[in-house]
Amino acid sequence: MELLEQRIKEEGIIIDGHVLKVDRFLNHQIDPILMDAIGEAFTERFKEAGITKIVTLESSGIAPAVMAGLKLGVPVIFARKKPSLTLGKGSYTAVVRSYTKEETNKIYLSADFINANDRILIIDDFLAKGEAVMGLIDLVKQADATISGIGIVIEKSFQDGRKRLDQLGYPIYSLARIASLSETGVEFLQE
Amino acid sequence: MELLEQRIKEEGIIIDGHVLKVDRFLNHQIDPILMDAIGEAFTERFKEAGITKIVTLESSGIAPAVMAGLKLGVPVIFARKKPSLTLGKGSYTAVVRSYTKEETNKIYLSADFINANDRILIIDDFLAKGEAVMGLIDLVKQADATISGIGIVIEKSFQDGRKRLDQLGYPIYSLARIASLSETGVEFLQE
């Protein structure tokens, strides 16, 4: 997605040569017009996949997921990083390690909103080692729902998350694929 | 907002007679079509206010704020509950107490994205005692920006948050105003 690559080049900040900070349009300040275009791109890719729900992770996945949900006409569920007040059928839980933040989180998804008939599109902001997406896959599988697609805003293709997901056979669509990050800038994979 | 009141009546769950759980369309599962209507309602109310940015709090404020931001044509910044990797001009911080969750959080807003020329619309999902919104006001004031409006999805009018904000003189627009909550149901203020 050329518009997104351009924004990453112009506004992304590279820390220590390997962390990409896009707080100017995605992770802290959000550009709603860009999110709308991102939602459109995911919709274009997955509109024939029979998606019934989108699952994402708070907080940075919410904006792109809601824009895609609006266009696909399906609800969005965001997995939480803290347990909710208990009620209903209870929660599915998974463990996610964040290498960037050097912490491990449990994530939660209510069993009330997802079932074996659902065809799920997982959307997340970043794919690096794949920990967060693997956690979301774990939650969806606990509900016996089908994973019909994975949409990623920014993929660090030089880390092994994409390979892990490809090996599992899921249809993956990453809008920006970063081949390398260094003090001098960002290089994208040429498709 | 009649559509919202109807959804609260039909899908809200009242816990212990005083906590309203709307996990079915706002706080865990999100209905993007409802969020779009909510964004439209905030836009209609504040479109003449010269808003330059929306400030909200992760995670449940993000969906309504991004929909309003898209329609108003302005960026959204979500205050974080955890500090980010430091860089740029640093962060503003405020303390927010959640009575529902019985916890106190520090919230953070980067000084990079807000300045004295900004006219801010604060958007949040709930207004009860006003702690979260007061925290957001505190952050915006630290940046010397102007608070030009406050948009609330669900106001518990029987708690004192609305009164606190009215006393400060800010234009407030709450889409659903709850007069009372009890085991038997929800009553709305009639405007």
For B126-165, the pLDDT digits (tens) are 999 999 999 999 999 999 999 999 999 999 999 999 999 9
Pick the more confident residue, B86 or B9.
B9
Query: pLDDT: is A82 or A119 the higher one?
Result: A119
CA distance A191 to chain B (A): 30
pLDDT at B144: 98
Domains of chain B, each with CATH number or no CATH: 31-171 (3.40.50.2020)
| Per-residue confidence (pLDDT) for residue A152, from 0 to 100 | 98
Angstroms from B23 CA to nearest CA on chain A: 9
Task: For residue range B7-28, list pLDDT tens digits in order.
Answer: 999 999 999 888 899 999 999 9
Is B132 annotated to bind ligand?
A: yes
CB-based contact, A99 to chain B, within 8 Å: no
Q: Is the pLDDT of residue B86 over 90?
A: no
Compute the average pLDDT of residues A46-55.
Answer: 98
Helix (H) / strand (E) element for A105: namely strand A103-110
Residues of B in contact with A33 (CB under 8 A): 70, 73
For A42, half-sphere exposure in the C-beta direction (CA atoms, 13 angstrom radius) is 34
Beta bridge partners of A149: A121
Cα distance between the two ends of chain A: 11
Q: Which residues of chain B make contact with A15, given a CB cutoff of 8 A?
A: 85, 87
Mean pLDDT of A159-173: 97
Give the one of B31, B78, B113 whose C-beta lies nearest to A59's C-beta.
B78
pLDDT at B83: 85
- Segment B46-74 shows an average pLDDT of 98
Q: Is A73 on the interface with B (CB under 8 A)?
A: yes
- Please report the pLDDT score of residue B87 as a whole number: 64
> Pick from B24, B33, B6, B35: which is nearest to B186 by CA?
B6
pLDDT digits (tens, 9 = 90+) for A4-48: 999 999 999 999 888 899 999 999 999 999 999 999 999 999 999
Chain A contact for B87, CB < 8 A? Answer: yes
Q: Which residues of chain A have a CB within 8 Å of the CB of B32?
A: 66-67, 69-70, 74-76
Size of interface A-B (CB pairs under 8 A): 113
Q: Could you tell me the pLDDT band of residue B43, with boundaries at 50, 70 and 90?
A: very high
ipTM surpasses cut 0.85: yes
Q: Of the candidates B153, B123, B131, B147, which has an alpha carbon nearest to the alpha carbon of residue B56?
A: B123
Residue of A nearest to B32 (CA): A70
* Mean pLDDT across A111-137: 97
A41 assigned binding-site residue: no
Whether A1 contacts A9, CB under 8 Å: no
Backbone angles phi, psi at A158, to 5 degrees: -85, -5
Dist CA B186 CA B188 (whole Å): 7
- The one-letter code for the residue type at B96 is V
d(CA A191, CA A188): 9
CB contact under 8 A, A77 and B30: yes
pLDDT tens for each residue of A91-113: 999 999 887 778 898 999 999 99
